[in-house]
Structure 1
Amino acid sequence: MEVDLKSVITCPYCNFQKEEIMPSESCQFFYECDNCKKVLRPKEGDCCVFCSYGANVCPSVQSKSR
């Protein structure tokens, strides 16, 4: 199973969605919404913003669940 680096991230404040390429070597802790400019941070217990707000979890979590 290949790791998917694309994920659609959804802003919890304005519901704006954007497809992004996730970093493959590290987790992303901050993400600024292009629409409302709010800075997203991971929810408690999640390692990154993609695990909290993305359609796909981050590459490190994907590779662990193989």
Structure 2
Amino acid sequence: MEKTIILQSTITCPNCGFQKEETMPTDACQYFYKCTNCETTLKPKQGDCCIFCSYGTVACPPVQSNKSCCN
């Protein structure tokens, strides 16, 4: 049985705490994200592959599939 991939993730800005649900791309990693509240540009934390793995409620699709992400 194949695992269902979740494409919605809620990003929490570490600067202002604003949360927004976003749809994750399935064919690319998102390295940058601009907070729509405070306009801070988020980048992945060290060791994470994308902003969803660093600041989202759900890891990106490649990580959910147990694949190496975006490398």
Counterparts of 1:59 and 1:40 in 2: how far apart (Å)?
A: 19
Residue 39 of structure 2 is matched in structure 1 by 37
1:23 is the counterpart of 2:25:
yes
Q: Taking structure 2 as the reference length, what is the TM-score of the superposition?
A: 0.89
Which structure would you say has the larger Rg? 2
- Report the number of matched residues: 65
Deviations 1:5-59 (A, max 9, x none): 0000000000000000000011100000000000000000000000000000000
Residue 9 of structure 2: which of 7, 10, 21 is its match?
7
1:61 is the counterpart of 2:63:
yes
Residue 47 of structure 1 is matched in structure 2 by 49
The gaps in structure 1 that reach 5 residues or longer are none
Q: Taking structure 1 as the reference length, what is the TM-score of the superposition?
A: 0.96
Point out 4+ residue stretches in structure 1 off by more than 6 angstroms.
Answer: none
